[in-house]
Amino acid sequence: MTTPDDTAQDRDPASKEPDAARIRRYQGILNDFSRMAGETRELTALLQVACVQAARGIGIGHSKAMRYRLTKGDLLVEAGIGWKPGVVGRLALGADIASPAGRAFQSRQPVRIDDLPASTEFRYLHVLQEHGIVSLLNVPISLDGVVWGVLEVDSATPRHFSEDDIVFLGAMANILGLALKDKLRERQHTETVAKASADLEQQKMLMRELAHRDKNDFQMIMSILLMQKNKQQDAEAIRGFKHALDRVAAISMAHDQLTMRPDRGTLDVAAYLGALCGNLGHRGDGIAIETHVDTAELSHERAVSLGLITNELVTNALKYAFPDGKGTVRVEFTADPVTGQGCLTVADNGAGMGPMRPGGSGLQLVDALARQIGATVERPPADQGTTFRVCFLIVR
């Protein structure tokens, strides 16, 4: 597919476009794309418009939109500009972390590479070599909290993509995700009307089978981790395996909650956090865990992130907050129906988190998980002990 005139060649990264002019250009392109996304009816055409507008905005000659294929475990190039025949609609890229697009898909984070040929972390694919690509930027495309695919711009000229570029391309991907959601919903509705009864029964059967398989898979993972832990001699390694076991158990518990309501596809935060804290409550004699949780519906992915955050904060308090082995950990979740904001609070009345209190890696994981659901993590001052507050918009 030919490249538009204004993206025929990558712009010189050394050019000094004023920041204000660049921001206005980005705003104009995003405005154009949001309008075109609403007017474009075909799914493939929508993806192609996104590629054209992304290339136009970044000022670059190559772009592509990739869809994750569950049955293949790869990313298929569905649309793009600047590529030779045989790429768009046919080429599939790896979805692993050594693939630039795969890392954006797996991490749900933008991936910026200034010098791909010199990189030791990423594969330099033949198709990129053939087109002379040396720098690239990937952002995930999400639908309902699940990564659908990846939007990528590729430069044949060495360049460093700025934070403004990342924000712009991320906004493009967000608009694209919303538009894709509508298109896929229309397609799904048409198919459902045609064979609703048969599909519904088959779906129920597959959900039951999948639930059993998921449970077996989690149990297998736990067995493997336990086997490896028992082989360790190093105390730090043993501690790491215990942390991994705790986290796998928290995810498994979320799957159990989902299995209990197969017709909903969402998790009740109150039930999930209640079960999670009930399990954690057996960890420390003399330490009570009090829960006050509002009912709220979250997608499975967001609920798992929230559960892992709760697991890390409560476990950290149980391990380090109470030198004398006695105290209380309070877990609260409030959901404001007016603002749509959910807030998780984990507070203990223990010794407080001084500069020497452990738990650094766990708190780093909390920050990473919070970013995945667009949450802020605060540590408000407390008269006694330590308090963490994690707030985010509740989006199913």
- Return the CATH superfamily for domain 5-192: GAF domain (3.30.450.40)
Kindly report whether the global pTM for this prediction surpasses the value 0.75: no
pLDDT tens digits for range 306-315: 988 998 899 8
Task: Give the full edge-to-edge strand order of the sheet including 327-336.
Answer: 287-293, 327-336, 341-348, 386-393, 376-378
* Mean pLDDT (the chain, rounded): 84
- Of residues 10 and 342, the one with the higher pLDDT is 342
pLDDT band, residue 209 (cuts 50/70/90): low
Residue carrying the six token digits 């490249």? 3
Q: Give the residue among 9, 29, 25 at the shortest CA–CA distance from 17.
A: 25
The number of helix segments (H) and strand segments (E) in the chain equals 10, 13
pLDDT tens digits for range 111-150: 999 999 999 999 999 999 999 999 999 999 998 888 999 9
- CA 231-233-235 angle, to 5 degrees, is 120
SS3 17: coil
- Return the CATH superfamily for domain 265-396: Histidine kinase-like ATPase, C-terminal domain (3.30.565.10)
- pLDDT of res. 191: 65
Residues 1-8 have a mean pLDDT of: 40
Out of 35-39, 57-61, 152-156, 197-201, which region has the weakest mean confidence (pLDDT)? 197-201
Residues 357-370 have a mean pLDDT of: 75
- Of residues 154 and 325, the one with the higher pLDDT is 154
- pLDDT of res. 110: 95
* 64 phi/psi in degrees, rounded to 5: -155, 150
Q: How is residue 128 written in tokens?
A: 């990129």
pLDDT tens digits for range 39-49: 887 889 999 99
Phi-psi sector, 255: left (phi>0), alpha (psi -120 to 50), beta: alpha
pLDDT score of 152 more than 60: yes
Residue carrying the six token digits 């772009």? 63
The Cβ of residue 105 has, within 10 Å, a number of other Cβ atoms equal to: 27
Task: Give the full edge-to-edge strand order of the sheet including 111-113.
Answer: 92-94, 74-81, 62-69, 146-155, 135-143, 111-113
Delimit the domains of the chain by residue range: 5-192, 197-263, 265-396
